[in-house]
Chains A and B, each alone.
Chain A
Amino acid sequence: EVQLVESGGGLVQPGGSLRLSCAASGFNFSTYWMAWVRQAPGKGLEWVAKIHLDGSDKYYADSVKGRFTISRDNAKNSLNLQMDNLRAEDTAVYYCARDHPSGWSLGCWGQGTLVTVSS
């Protein structure tokens, strides 16, 4: 069974940093693009970043470019999101998601981890 389990969320002050992790199991992690998607309270989905199979290509939403860094460790079946210079508007549930085998869509999702940016 495919499982994605996020961790690392919590309360952080504006300007602070947080590192999210996603533990993947039940599939060959190194053969899939992976992504982070977030959802602010009561709002819609916002794509954050995605990373190539081997980590060689990374893409970011304009809203997080220069502040967030996506990475992966295929040996540990782990996806990460380093979030720096956090702002109140980054407050959201952050979901880890796996690409669909046919590509260009997200076929499996974790349950999410809540990040709250507040003083």
Chain B
Amino acid sequence: EGVLTQSPGTLSLSPGERATLSCRASQSVSTYLAWYQQKPGQPPRLLIYGASSRATGIPDRFSGSGSGTDFTLTISRLEPEDFAVYYCQQYGSEFGPGTRVDVK
């Protein structure tokens, strides 16, 4: 399996703005790509599986897209509780380094 890279490392935005996070795989992972959100002192929470399917209870402002090597997590309008670190994961195994979304 290849390596995942995430960009940007940090995204500084204001509540209500749109967030676009990128995850790139060094070799194709088809749609075996998941996204997680993690807040300080908490375990990660699954947001997106299969590159574009929302997990149970995840608001529809979160959406995932992509296949092969390039993937995007979009948060349409940031809510205060969305400021956190986001990780992508391939094949239920290796994780990317994460993108921190913080308040501008």
**Once A and B bind, how many residue pairs between them come within 8 Å at the CB atom?**
66
Query: Given contacts A44-B87, A104-B32, A106-B34, is CB(A99)–CB(B92) below 8 Å?
Result: yes
How many chain B residues sit at the interface, stated as a range, is 20 to 34
Chain A residues within 8 Å of chain B by Cβ, number: 23
CB under 8 Å from chain B, chain A span 30-44: 33, 35, 37, 44
B44 within 8 A of A: yes
User: Cβ of B97 and Cβ of A44 under 8 Å apart?
Assistant: yes
Interface residues of A (CB under 8 A from B): 33, 35, 37, 44-47, 50, 59, 61, 95, 99-100, 102-107, 109-112
Interface residues of B (CB under 8 A from A): 32, 34, 36, 38, 43-46, 49-50, 53, 55, 85, 87, 89, 91-98
